[in-house]
Amino acid sequence: MGRPTGTKTATKGLLVAERRRKAWKLKLEGLTYEEIGRRLGVSNAQTHRDIHHRLDELDEEERQEAKAFRRAIVERDEAMIEALYPQARAGNLEATRGLLAVHRELRQVLGLDEPSFRT
């Protein structure tokens, strides 16, 4: 018999994902890999793989959240630049200062500047 297909694969994937979430929760509660494995009915090695896979998922979720945050900041700042630019070109000093502040923020959000530390 080969690998499961179709609905069986989807069901198995959901069960694995749920087991990984449970393993992660138990690890956060302080259980050992052995204790987690016993509770979930899997080996220590499988528990270890489940925890590390969940860590990878969390890392990816954080990357996606950070990407969405940066996208929102860029969209907001682009709208501010669009509003301030004509005024700055017309010689409005406050608009020019605002435009420079928005550019500084964009450079930081996009990682184009080294962070500055004040002592």
Mean pLDDT, to the nearest integer, of 14-19? 91
- Average pLDDT, rounded, for the chain: 88
Residues 13, 3: Cα–Cα separation, whole Å = 12
**pLDDT given for residue 114 in this prediction:** 62
17-29 confidence digits (pLDDT tens): 999 999 999 999 9
Helix (H, G, I), strand (E, B) or coil at 41: coil
Residues 119, 117: Cα–Cα separation, whole Å = 7
What are the boundaries of each domain within the chain? 7-109
**pLDDT given for residue 38 in this prediction:** 96
C-alpha closest to that of 57 among 17, 117, 104: 17
The answer to whether residue 1 scores a pLDDT higher than 70 is: no
20-22-26 Cα angle (round to 5): 115
Band (3; pLDDT cuts 50, 70, 90) = low
